[in-house]
Chains A and B, each alone.
Chain A
């Protein structure tokens, strides 16, 4: 069997889901036997490649950059997994959603700042009006809720997918 191409991507989340993935400890070796990690914060790759088998998406879709990324992920991946509450529900990043983005940025970077009070607009992607779950924008094949999802759940899902099986996910906790 040819090696599986596995990618991960970090949108508007705290990186806790990626930490939970690393928390599968030595089982990561079994994953590495089956799969090449071809993109994500855990590896050095510069660009998201074509023909990825499985992509784990951490975080809500919060900025224009997140939106472009998540569309690219869908176009280039066979299976997309929404990993963790931010990707599944919007979670903490979505707590800004009832406040207009411009007002929020002004409150934090102008009113809340002692020095150099201005809303940053260089080198940072513009915010979308709301941070929303991944499945609001693209088709998601598997949802794995949890803040973060338990390592055993991530490993369980990966084991099924890396062996080419459709995974059945028991929901042990929502949110």
Chain B
């Protein structure tokens, strides 16, 4: 969080002049300018990981696209938050996420309340052009109150970060590389055996999809309490 009186920089977001402290990101600047940039791995109050790439923007003078959530603002920067090119890349990212694991919304606990599903509709994904992989993936039911369904995980790492920095338990980590990446509890133990878990449920509420849910929720029933968790995470971030 920025200190009061910190040096401010001026940048342009879609042509509009925004002044903000140098420690801020393009995503924060866009929010100040009232511009919507789609995000999946960003969660207010948590350190950004740049995991999903959905927030890519165009910055003049830079040939490649940059993630808005992890790119700090710089004096004189000029940012485009929406264009046909960005829309095409963002759709591509969503389609790749949907093709990577098994997203069967019709039978998912998060159907109708899922950030991935909502963004797909909002950004105009009507079909997935990449071949679905249909991998065989486990569902961890070992925890007394919660479920981890790897079929729905998009590896955003919001669970990892909220558990480590807000709850202070650091139960989750991402194991392996690339397509083999997998969220694991403790040393790749069943979640129910993870002695570090306090059972607080923060990871469940931070998870944007149906990958983490409460036991006993049927199709469409899992609603995440995101607003409350953001408040807690923001307070913690201010204190840190």
Contacts and interface: CB of A to CB of B under 8 A. Distances in A.
Interface of A: 82, 85, 88-92, 94-95, 97-99, 130, 132-133, 135-136, 140, 143-145, 147, 169, 171-175
B111 interface: yes
Interface stretch (B52-60, B125-133, B194-202): B125-133
A89 B105 CA distance: 10
Nearest to A97: B134
Contacts of A97: 132, 134
A71 B129 CA distance: 19
Interface-centre pick from B103, B106, B132 (highest chain A CB count, 10 A): B106
Interface string B78-107: 000000000000000000001000111111
Contacts of A91: 104-106
A20 to B, nearest CB: 13
Size class of B's contact patch? 20 to 34
Given A171-B125, A171-B126, A174-B120, A136 B131 contact: yes
B124 interface: yes
Contacts of A133: 127-128, 132
A82 B106 contact: no
B74 interface: no
Nearest to A148: B106
A147 B106 contact: yes
A144 B127 CA distance: 9
B117 interface: yes
Given A89-B127, A175-B103, 8 more contacts: A91-B104, A92-B107, A98-B136, A132-B132, A135-B129, A171-B121, A173-B117, A175-B117
A95 B136 contact: no
Interface of B: 98, 102-107, 111-112, 117, 120-121, 124-129, 131-132, 134-136
A155 B239 CA distance: 55
A94 B134 CA distance: 8
Contact of B106 (A92, A130, A144, A171): A92
Contacts of B131: 136
A135 B103 CA distance: 17
Contacts of A95: 102, 104, 107
B126 A169 contact: yes
Contacts of B103: 89, 175
Among B98, B103, B120, B132, chain A packs the most CB atoms within 10 A around the CB of B132
Given A97-B134, A133-B132, A85 B106 contact: yes
A91 B104 CA distance: 5
Q: Pick the 10 closest A-B CB pairs, nearest first.
A: A175-B105, A98-B136, A97-B134, A174-B120, A147-B106, A143-B127, A143-B126, A174-B121, A171-B121, A171-B126
